[in-house]
Amino acid sequence: MEPDGDQIDALLRLRGVRVTQARRSVFELLSGSALPLSAARIDEMLGNAGRSIDLVTIYRTLETLERCGLITRADRFNEGWRYMVISREHHHMIVCSECGSASPLDVCDLNRIEQSLERTTGFTNIRHSLQFYGICAGCRR
């Protein structure tokens, strides 16, 4: 499921951008994460793994990966943008309004709606972002 080093290199090369350690590290990290990650969190996790990258570079790397169509910005709730790899299966999240913890869901049946929107609104390239919020069991107490 998660692409290994060589596959990442190939994906980047295919898009005509240079293969660098920063891009490898960030993409690898996102590939291995079930949840969308913020730039700050990526910075922290890479630091903990002894692979520190400047936060500015992380932002530029995320922008590059997004332009290459490898990742996407999930949403921007309290803190800031969170990023995730674009995968075949389309996921949604439920996020606790108190502690920010998130769990992935496995439902999405909005593609039909998107198709009808293309006809009725004149918009093209329609995509959507669906997010549920609530209070998780831990925070209820």
Chain Cα centroid distance, residue 17: 20
Closer CB to DNA, 54 or 114, in the complex: 54
Q: How far is the CB of 84 from DNA (least distance, A)?
A: 14
How far is residue 95's CA from residue 19's CA, in Å, rounded to a whole number?
Answer: 34
**Site for a second copy, rule CB under 8 A:** 75-77, 94, 96-97, 103, 105, 107, 110, 113-114, 117-118, 121-137, 140
Strand pairing partners for 53?
none
Closer CB to DNA, 56 or 113, in the complex: 56
Rule CB under 7 A: say whether 63 interacts with DNA.
yes
Rule CB under 7 A: say whether 18 interacts with DNA.
yes
Q: How far is the CB of 45 from DNA (least distance, A)?
A: 14
Burial of 110 (0-12, 13-18, 19+ CB in 10 A): middle
Q: How far is the CB of 114 from a second copy (least distance, A)?
A: 7
**Does residue 78 sit in helix, strand or coil?**
coil
Strand pairing partners for 76?
81
Closer CB to DNA, 13 or 128, in the complex: 13
Residues 11-20: contacts with CB within 8 Å, 24+ apart? 11/68, 11/70, 12/68, 15/68, 15/69, 15/70, 17/64, 17/68
- Contacts with DNA, residue ranges (CB under 7 A): 13, 17-23, 38-40, 52-57, 59-61, 63-64, 76, 79-81
